[in-house]
Structure 1
């Protein structure tokens, strides 16, 4: 009889983590950050600016409204620039203060904290939640679980609805939902982002940070010996051991760590910071608050777990201004200044000149050479404008066609023009001409574009 070989599991389901509620300086900072960021997220779509939604990524009309600024597909360079600035800011603050983003501002952290708060008010703190999960099914358990998931679902739906409100005018979205006329695709995206919020913040939680987020993997490239991290002081804490307050154990041979494991119980990713810096640590500083609270009860100095740097641990000093910080800072400042300057110089008028390639020139009955051009005029302003066109050429010329045109907001208008010159007055076969397009309402808005005027090669100048 063939012996059966046991199957090795390639995936082990991680144990559920029950973070304990903690109070302290950093806990208050995280709570303030959560309220600030969530408040901005849910209220921002309702802000108005010049009778329109202040922040709206209007994909159907290809407009991105950011308060008084409207970006079009032609302004894609500015959107790319913003992403580069965001990435460089992340590099700069990571090199300076570690995973500051992860602990206080990352959407996964913020929404998970909100979901944990709803879990606590319905099921209780850590021990109560653990007892409830182990308890057999009962009316009380069903009631508490139903209350929790109801709050989660409502909060997730509000999140998905608000997210779609950044792309569809939120007042129109609200009206259509209440009237039952919202389209299928809009409902799909509302429910999709609601489900994503419910799954990430309610179910996956720390697994998103540990397994799905790439930031923890490449952050090591941005860390150095002077990067601020959360660390446990083994010289002061070891050997650890339990003892009563103010007790003397073996002539005070024990370290300050009483092995209460409170730093583990409050950790949202379930790690033990005493094992050293780990990629799972999101630098939320909950362990610092928990340890300081125990140190106060034991009448020991605070700071057994604290923000510090590797250099400070070994050399008792920290360098803030170092090459990495200076390079990141200089690049960030330079790009930010250039971005502001480029944005301030951005013209609401764009013009492209297309020369007729099928017929380079033609001769008129008067003996003049004629070239045909098509001006593509785009109005990037929020209001319709009327523009006037004139031409500067090296010799006397005639501009045939309507030299004024009205263009609606965000529209592109085509203006065909014919330019005639005496070929015998032109020195070269190809001469440069300048088209000057001016806003009739605002003379300061002006665009100058150049093109070529071509004549036959056998016509020499007099």
Structure 2
């Protein structure tokens, strides 16, 4: 068997300070080794899916507008055929609840799935590390390049890497802003370099943080800045699937030749090659047990399985398993059976109920809304013919994706009518239109003071789409 490849410098397990002068140990740069395997393929599949969605959605059109646009200036969120208004903040609250319970549910089942496969920090770190590997080489070449004196080759590779990183970061910032400002306007602004101050700020700000987090800080974001790493363990229990080193099978670890029975040497299956540490994006040794720095990416599983294959040992020395499964020597059948336990059933039930409530709320949402506002500058006045006039301003919100014409009627008092006859207004798709109505009532039609009346707003093309809004009519005392 060939000798193991040189090990790149890795961050060592943190130790307690030896004196009051060493409260902080400076970061040791990680040279993460590339790995292939089942979980690496899943991770890259999620990278492709998330980035196709992120970079692609702002370019899609829907009914002559951007398909997904959070238009802050208009105070409207467009998501394909649905338009959300400020009055729909209820749905935002439900989405936050869904996100929270989805996190609780999947974390209780299999640990930090979000962190390991879909978190933007993980996704962009994977992308930036891939770029770095293509330009500077593998983990050994990168370490040698860092340690080498400045040369034309080093300057060229560093410059090329930073240039590509910068372009990716700027395009990411541009795409982020495109969710809040129409893409067509941003493209024109880019062509003439006439961005608004806030657009330019957010493009540079988001791009700079993408560059900093994915290219420079990397594992430090997960270890020190992300709050989820600090509290995620409270959602674990002995039946949560986590990445685990099988200590009973692997210890005592030690090097040996291929084909030698480790039991004859008094050793376990772990050959102490250290590759599981080399591929870890946070630089931890999974053999030391569950640690908060572990993001659950399963790179160590892929690496260890490849080593086990070369040694002709069974796979799974490092694997997804549970604390109870290790203690009680459970197989996959028992592990799966314990996925459905009280904690996950409660999380799953709440998640399902809230999701159904969200879908029901969207499906039953009224496509027409009307706000009635009394003209407070002229509460009630007498006009010709001995009639009393009240003035109202109606804000009509057409929440549908097509232009509609609405008619107005009023009822509630004898002889009540709208001056000039029933009006008609045309409201564009996902638009608001205001109309001022002068309502007339005979002087003796009701009691002095406040009287109830009702406006009926009806869509001409669909009489079933109507809305009744109650208000009050003031008669002088």
Do the two structures share a fold, i.e. TM-score over 0.5?
yes
Any idea what the Cα deviations from partners look like across 1:1-56, whole Å, max 9, x if unmatched? xxxxx982443222111111111111111111112211222122111112221111
Identify the residue that residue 36 of structure 2 maps to in structure 1: 23
Identify the residue that residue 153 of structure 2 maps to in structure 1: 140
Q: Assess if the C-alpha contact under 8 Å between 1:398 and 1:421 holds in 2.
A: no
Q: Assess if the C-alpha contact under 8 Å between 1:370 and 1:421 holds in 2.
A: no
Identify the residue that residue 372 of structure 2 maps to in structure 1: 353
Evaluate the alpha carbon distance shift between residue 42 and residue 393 of structure 1 in structure 2; reply closer, same or farther with a 3 A threshold: same
Identify the residue that residue 117 of structure 1 maps to in structure 2: 130
Determine which of 439, 450, 460 is the counterpart of 2:470: 450
Any idea what the Cα deviations from partners look like across 1:411-442, whole Å, max 9, x if unmatched? 3414233241564x658975533211112233
Determine which of 458, 461, 465 is the counterpart of 1:441: 461
Q: SS state of the match for residue 445, structure 1?
A: strand
Any idea what the Cα deviations from partners look like across 1:60-88, whole Å, max 9, x if unmatched? 22221111112222222223322222222
Matches within 5 A, 1:223-234: 223-234=236-247
Deviation for aligned residue 1:255: 0.8
2: CA distance, partners of 1:195 / 1:311 = 44
Identify the residue that residue 261 of structure 1 maps to in structure 2: 274
Evaluate the alpha carbon distance shift between residue 375 and residue 401 of structure 1 in structure 2; reply closer, same or farther with a 3 A threshold: farther
Identify the residue that residue 163 of structure 2 maps to in structure 1: 150
Indicate the larger mover: 290-299 or 48-57.
48-57
Q: Assess if the C-alpha contact under 8 Å between 1:19 and 1:268 holds in 2.
A: yes
Deviation for aligned residue 1:287: 0.4
Q: SS state of the match for residue 257, structure 2?
A: coil
Q: SS state of the match for residue 12, structure 1?
A: coil
Identify the residue that residue 350 of structure 2 maps to in structure 1: 331
1:270 aligns with 2:263: no
Identify the residue that residue 206 of structure 1 maps to in structure 2: 219
Q: Assess if the C-alpha contact under 8 Å between 2:419 and 2:437 holds in 1.
A: no
Identify the residue that residue 460 of structure 1 maps to in structure 2: none
Determine which of 403, 411, 421 is the counterpart of 2:432: 411
Identify the residue that residue 393 of structure 1 maps to in structure 2: 412
Q: SS state of the match for residue 100, structure 2?
A: helix
Any idea what the Cα deviations from partners look like across 1:383-403, whole Å, max 9, x if unmatched? 543321112326453333553
Q: Which runs of 5+ in 1 are unaligned?
A: 1-5, 458-462
Evaluate the alpha carbon distance shift between residue 364 and residue 44 of structure 1 in structure 2; reply closer, same or farther with a 3 A threshold: closer
Evaluate the alpha carbon distance shift between residue 237 and residue 99 of structure 1 in structure 2; reply closer, same or farther with a 3 A threshold: same
**What TM-score do the two structures reach when normalised by structure 2?**
0.88
Determine which of 97, 101, 110 is the counterpart of 2:114: 101
Q: SS state of the match for residue 444, structure 1?
A: strand
Q: Assess if the C-alpha contact under 8 Å between 1:63 and 1:73 holds in 2.
A: yes
Identify the residue that residue 359 of structure 2 maps to in structure 1: 340
Deviation for aligned residue 1:192: 1.4
Q: Assess if the C-alpha contact under 8 Å between 1:397 and 1:422 holds in 2.
A: no
Evaluate the alpha carbon distance shift between residue 394 and residue 289 of structure 1 in structure 2; reply closer, same or farther with a 3 A threshold: same
Any idea what the Cα deviations from partners look like across 1:130-179, whole Å, max 9, x if unmatched? 11111122222112212211211111111112111222222331232123
Q: Assess if the C-alpha contact under 8 Å between 1:401 and 1:416 holds in 2.
A: no
Matches within 5 A, 1:36-51: 36-51=49-64
Any idea what the Cα deviations from partners look like across 1:180-201, whole Å, max 9, x if unmatched? 3333432222121111110000
Identify the residue that residue 144 of structure 2 maps to in structure 1: 131
Evaluate the alpha carbon distance shift between residue 143 and residue 366 of structure 1 in structure 2; reply closer, same or farther with a 3 A threshold: closer
Evaluate the alpha carbon distance shift between residue 235 and residue 249 of structure 1 in structure 2; reply closer, same or farther with a 3 A threshold: closer
**What TM-score do the two structures reach when normalised by structure 1?**
0.90
2: CA distance, partners of 1:191 / 1:350 = 39
Q: Assess if the C-alpha contact under 8 Å between 1:401 and 1:418 holds in 2.
A: no
Any idea what the Cα deviations from partners look like across 1:101-154, whole Å, max 9, x if unmatched? 111111110000000001111111111111111112222211221221121111
Q: Assess if the C-alpha contact under 8 Å between 2:379 and 2:474 holds in 1.
A: yes
Q: Assess if the C-alpha contact under 8 Å between 1:45 and 1:56 holds in 2.
A: yes
Evaluate the alpha carbon distance shift between residue 325 and residue 419 of structure 1 in structure 2; reply closer, same or farther with a 3 A threshold: farther
Q: Assess if the C-alpha contact under 8 Å between 2:275 and 2:304 holds in 1.
A: yes
Evaluate the alpha carbon distance shift between residue 140 and residue 93 of structure 1 in structure 2; reply closer, same or farther with a 3 A threshold: same
1: CA distance, partners of 2:427 / 2:312 = 75
Deviation for aligned residue 1:407: 3.7
1:298 aligns with 2:311: yes
RMSD: 2.4
1: CA distance, partners of 2:262 / 2:308 = 17
Identify the residue that residue 312 of structure 1 maps to in structure 2: 325
2: CA distance, partners of 1:30 / 1:84 = 26
Count, aligned residues: 451
